[in-house]
Structure 1
Amino acid sequence: MPEAGSATPPRAFVRTLLRSGAPADPPRAAVDNGDLTAVGDATLARAARYWVVVPLAYRIAAFVKVFIGFTAANGSLGLGPVLGATVFAVAANAAAVVWVLRAGGLRARLTRRALAVDLVVGVALCFAVAATAPDAIQPFAVDVPWTWLVGGIAMAAGTSGLPTALWLFVAAVPLRAALTLAGGLPLTHPLAVTRSIGCLVALAVAIVIAVAILILLGVGTRFAVDIGLRRGREAERRRTRRIMHDSVLQTLEALAISAPGDDTHAVTRLAELRSVAKAEAAELRRHITEPVPTGSRRSFAVELADVATELARDGLRTQLVAADFADDHKVSQDRRSALVEAVREALRNTVKHSGTKQVVLRVEQRDGGIAVVARDQGQGFDIHDRPPGFGISQSIVARLAEVGGHGTVDSQPGRGTRVTMWVPG
């Protein structure tokens, strides 16, 4: 996976956003390979699918506001065409919002066609009102359907980039003049001039706001992706350290321990060491080739029994108590896997440090989750004098904390050790 520095530099990224708008979905292969630029573009593309909801919602509210202002200033004069345009616009934009949300956003392949249709509808609506409104209030009446074009050009800025929005702004100047002529007014009519300037200013403001939102959305998405990838790399480093500790390091320590009769039973001892090495190699290969749990229908108690069987080769006798436990598979596979690995580490610590070869493993439902308690009657230790090592702090406590659970260790010299491990349901 490439480092963060391989991504598009921030300034170049912002320039790309301004020039082209929100990116389309990048090739799937680039995303799967972990290319930071492709991952950022894919995330932004998914977020941008819902971007059109903002101008659509703006138009719903703005049409109502402008209509109220029109009726307050002009009464019933020209009310028919303006009311018709308002009702149509509110209904059409509300339907568009519902469609976008249900369809999972506006896909990039539909964006240009949808934008073109939207602008055509807006222009037609403006001409319909301009041609039917009374001359005396025609410029005010056109202000109402002009709201549609304000939202449309804002959508253009976000989906197609600033150049497209600026070209549409330039085209809006002769369009506004054409609307004035369609209403039978001269281009020099004072009211038509002032209202046209006001409407063009509204377009400019919409473009600025849309571009600002696009930049915030794009930069924020890149920033979030960068943080996520950094945390992912750190999590992967922790996972690698745990695998090395829980498998390779444990095996090397076991191989280094001298057993009684090593000199006289060298052949038997060598066979045992080879068996241990072969088993650990198989376990390490499983971690490497299957890094992500794919789910399991086996009972959780059976998974714990497998761990107990695995540790039996080191001489540990495990009494598994699960009489009051009903495995309902409500706990996610990630949490079950974390709990199983934590139990494995707890049992290995029993083998290495407790001075006993017997442990009781109790599994039960507790506080809406699964709890496993490993208890031995070994020599114990003083927790205050012996701070937790890597096995307890990382392979048990930190591993469970990452999936929302927790692990605690209670021990006293001469009274054994109890390790309590819990994950939520």
Structure 2
Amino acid sequence: MPEAGSAAPPRAFVRTLLRSGTPAEPTEPLPDSGDLTAVGDATLARASRYWVAVPMAYRAAAFVKVFIGFTAANGVLGLGPVLGATVFGVAANIAAIVWVLRSGGLRARLTGRALSLDLSLGVVLNLVVAVTAPAEIQPFAVDVSWTWLVGSVAMWAGTSGLPAALWLFAAAVPFRALLTVAGGLPLDHQLALTRSIGCMVALAVAIVLAVAILIMLGVGTRFAVDIGLRRGREAERHRTRRIMHDSVLQTLEALAISAPGDDAQAVTRLSELRSVAKAEAAELRRRITEPVPTGSARGFAVELADVATELARDGLRTQLVAADFADDHKVSQDRRTALCEAVREALRNTVKHSGTKQVVLRVEQRDGGIAVVARDQGQGFDVRDRPPGFGISQSIMARLAEVGGHGTVDSQPGRGTRVTMWVPG
């Protein structure tokens, strides 16, 4: 049974692309759901906004190429209309590319009108060249102006699907015959017939290439969205596990630790446990419901001081050294938050495992970023014999790695522990 929110089968998706082209432009913003079909179509629609620039760029280059071939074969004969068509084709397509890029792509509401206008210009351009070019070189002249229609059919194939492109291909047969007659040549004229077949082959090649690009764009987008959603869900699972580890699990472990005189001071002890549980519940609620931080006017050293104050209720005395640190707010809020959470976990490990209640926290600028070093003079341990637990591997190492940073743990028995945490600027 397919997983909920999974993509449509690749064959069905490709058939849909071929039948109707890229999906219509979705409303803003992107769908906030795990429905891969909706998210994939929305992403594909945004990517396809700029696809029309590819046929336009081809036409701008192809006009120059075909014009050079025309002049090499015919000299100055019929140069006027062919040169005019070439200049118009290159200038119009370059201007259209600039417009598409600056306006954020071709929007769905403009696609039909824009492509209809583009096709109309191609029809008019070919008629003008066919009528004005000398009869003896008219088929070669039409080859130049036909370049416009090749790009038009490719754009229709990509945005409206293969059926629309095939209808245009079928309509191009009588239209190419009309151009021959308009130039004063009979339909059975050998040169006109040969060049007409060449023009139809060019349209067929354009349709095939456009369909291939459409399939690669659609399927590639769908697979990319699928991978992105899977990684996002995995990251969310890691985030949830970290929240549970850093808050609920820490509280439960604290509640489970017995202290001398618990029985004699049961009421006081119960009151303390309730206070701790209430504080942790408030912290957990804040983490679950708070919006993603976008910035903070507070200095990073102040944020670290808040973390040290929080751990002081567990009896940890933290000496914060930040005299040589210039907090210029160049580090993003996401990285500052990750660093503060990693420091919080390092201090909690000090409380639980070091055998000391004192730690030095040094903040410094290093290697283009911020480094925080937590050093205690506790009992230490042999890092080669003790593999990193969840707190070190996930709450410190993995959390920093997610924002481009890293962390290291150095410790020896009897010589304390030093945890170095760094994030880039």
Match of 2:99 in 1: 99
Match of 2:259 in 1: 259
Q: Is the 8 A contact 1:162 1:211 kept in 2?
A: yes
Q: Hey, what's the Cα distance between the residues in 1 that align with 2:139 and 2:72? A: 15
Question: What pairs up with 1:122-271 in 2 under 5 angstroms?
Answer: 122-271=122-271
Cα distance per residue 1:111-139 (max 9 Å; x no partner):
11110000000010000100000000101
Q: Give 1:329's aligned amino acid.
A: H
Question: What pairs up with 1:8-407 in 2 under 5 angstroms?
Answer: 8-28=8-28, 31-290=31-290, 292-407=292-407
Q: Is the 8 A contact 1:26 1:38 kept in 2?
A: no
Say which SS state the counterpart of residue 179 (structure 1) adopts: helix
Match of 1:423 in 2: 423
Q: Is the 8 A contact 1:70 1:140 kept in 2?
A: yes
Q: Quick one: percent identity of the two aligned structures?
A: 87
Over aligned residue pairs, what C-alpha RMSD do you find? 1.3
Q: Give 2:193's aligned amino acid.
A: V
Q: Hey, what's the Cα distance between the residues in 2 that align with 1:46 and 1:381? A: 54
**1:79 offset after TM fit, Å?**
0.5
Q: Is the 8 A contact 1:153 1:165 kept in 2?
A: yes
Q: Give 2:413's aligned amino acid.
A: P
Q: Give 1:370's aligned amino acid.
A: I
Say which SS state the counterpart of residue 409 (structure 1) adopts: strand
Cα distance per residue 1:50-90 (max 9 Å; x no partner):
10111001001110110011111111110000001001100
**1:290 offset after TM fit, Å?**
2.2
Say which SS state the counterpart of residue 6 (structure 1) adopts: coil
Q: Hey, what's the Cα distance between the residues in 2 that align with 1:4 and 1:367? A: 45
Q: Is the 8 A contact 1:40 1:221 kept in 2?
A: yes
Q: Give 1:153's aligned amino acid.
A: V
Q: Hey, what's the Cα distance between the residues in 1 that align with 2:403 and 2:30? A: 29
**1:186 offset after TM fit, Å?**
1.1
Q: Hey, what's the Cα distance between the residues in 1 that align with 2:126 and 2:60? A: 16
Q: Hey, what's the Cα distance between the residues in 2 that align with 1:262 and 1:62? A: 88
**1:108 offset after TM fit, Å?**
1.3
**1:275 offset after TM fit, Å?**
0.8
Q: Is the 8 A contact 2:338 2:400 kept in 1?
A: yes
Say which SS state the counterpart of residue 252 (structure 1) adopts: helix
Task: Return the TM-score normalized by structure 2.
Answer: 0.98
Q: Hey, what's the Cα distance between the residues in 2 that align with 1:212 and 1:18? A: 10
**1:30 offset after TM fit, Å?**
7.2
Say which SS state the counterpart of residue 105 (structure 2) adopts: coil
Q: Hey, what's the Cα distance between the residues in 1 that align with 2:336 and 2:156? A: 48
Aligned residue pairs: how many?
A: 424
Say which SS state the counterpart of residue 32 (structure 1) adopts: coil
Q: Give 1:424's aligned amino acid.
A: P
Q: Hey, what's the Cα distance between the residues in 2 that align with 1:85 and 1:5? A: 51
**1:260 offset after TM fit, Å?**
1.4
Q: Hey, what's the Cα distance between the residues in 2 that align with 1:280 and 1:178? A: 81
Cα distance per residue 1:117-169 (max 9 Å; x no partner):
00000010000100000000101100100000000000000011111101011
Say which SS state the counterpart of residue 31 (structure 2) adopts: helix
Cα distance per residue 1:87-124 (max 9 Å; x no partner):
11001101111111111111111111110000000010
Q: Hey, what's the Cα distance between the residues in 2 that align with 1:91 and 1:3? A: 50
**1:3 offset after TM fit, Å?**
4.9
Q: Give 2:96's aligned amino acid.
A: A
Q: In structure 2, do the counterparts of structure 1 residues 29 and 214 end up closer, same or farther at CA, with 3 Å as the change threshold? A: same
Q: Hey, what's the Cα distance between the residues in 2 that align with 1:23 and 1:33? A: 18
Q: In structure 2, do the counterparts of structure 1 residues 323 and 235 end up closer, same or farther at CA, with 3 Å as the change threshold? A: same
Q: Hey, what's the Cα distance between the residues in 1 that align with 2:260 and 2:415? A: 27
Cα distance per residue 1:219-259 (max 9 Å; x no partner):
00001111111111111111111111111111100000001
Which ranges of structure 1 fall in alignment gaps of 5 or more residues?
none
Q: Give 2:392's aligned amino acid.
A: I
Say which SS state the counterpart of residue 125 (structure 2) adopts: helix
Say which SS state the counterpart of residue 31 (structure 1) adopts: coil
**Which runs of structure 1 show a deviation greater than 3 angstroms over 4 or more consecutive aligned residues?**
2-6, 27-30
Q: Is the 8 A contact 1:52 1:106 kept in 2?
A: yes
Say which SS state the counterpart of residue 145 (structure 1) adopts: helix
**1:291 offset after TM fit, Å?**
5.9
Which ranges of structure 2 fall in alignment gaps of 5 or more residues?
none
Q: Hey, what's the Cα distance between the residues in 1 that align with 2:354 and 2:56? A: 67
Q: Is the 8 A contact 2:135 2:184 kept in 1?
A: yes
Q: Hey, what's the Cα distance between the residues in 2 that align with 1:277 and 1:296? A: 28
Q: Give 2:23's aligned amino acid.
A: P
Say which SS state the counterpart of residue 51 (structure 1) adopts: coil
Task: Return the TM-score normalized by structure 1.
Answer: 0.98
Say which SS state the counterpart of residue 328 (structure 1) adopts: coil
Q: Is the 8 A contact 2:373 2:420 kept in 1?
A: yes
Q: Hey, what's the Cα distance between the residues in 1 that align with 2:308 and 2:56? A: 60
